[in-house]
Amino acid sequence: MIETNALTAANARRWQNAKLTRNCARVARHLVTQNAKARYRAVSTKTGVPWAVIAVIHQRECSQDWTGSLAQGDPWNRVSVHVPAGRGPFRSWEEAAIDALVNCAPYAARNKDWSIGGTLTMLEQYNGLGYAARGRPSPYIWSGTDQYRSGKYVRDGVYDPDVVDSQPGCAGLLMAMMALDPTITFTGATIAPPISVKPTPAAKPAAPSIANPAKGSIGAFIANILNAVFRRKS
């Protein structure tokens, strides 16, 4: 049996050490658009699940297809055939999403720990704890980061250690979304700050020359005399 507190701590540590190995920004931009965010927030208001979490589940389950259910990607206007099976039909994507979060395991709407470790553990439970049981980082969470290399359940109960998940994982997506939308926050979650630009150094004063003698030098003394002579003549 997986001890969720230990998994939460492990996921929090992985987050602090994780670096993106894949560009997740293109997908993240679709998840944070104004229209998408409004729909996710409507479901968040009904369930208490953070809208950004709903967004990454939507991406992982059905590549943000609005005709697919948040529960497993099946069309929400028909009875689902994949686990969880027998759900629906529903009248809208939002209604199906609320059902998935409230009535289907792991019952995300009941979660009270939305720290980054708790969030990632809830997302891992959403996909299943088979990877944690093997002591492996879940590609559902860590694909696209240096915390994951290979290993994937290619179908229910069948694990292939050599297969690499091609989809960006939830952690990488959240990192990219947080960089685009600073309103997305989780307790204990930080992302690398943007590269700072060093200020341009002040221009060095020109070296002394005949045309620009150093102050207090003999050259400056002679230049002052010549200037005075030419002013009198003019």
Alpha-carbon distance 76 to 97, whole Å?
9
CA distances from 184 to 37, 55, 98, 105, 176 (A): 11, 12, 21, 25, 11
Q: Encode pLDDT of 91-117 as tens digits.
A: 999 999 999 999 999 999 999 999 999
pTM: 0.79
Per-residue pLDDT of the chain (234 residues; tens, 9 = 90+): 678 999 999 999 999 999 999 999 999 999 999 999 999 999 999 999 999 999 999 999 999 999 999 999 999 999 999 999 999 999 999 999 999 999 999 999 999 999 999 999 999 999 999 999 999 999 999 999 999 999 999 988 899 999 999 999 999 999 999 999 999 999 877 765 443 333 334 444 445 555 555 555 555 555 565 555 545 444
Q: Encode pLDDT of 192-219 as tens digits.
A: 544 333 333 444 444 555 555 555 555 5
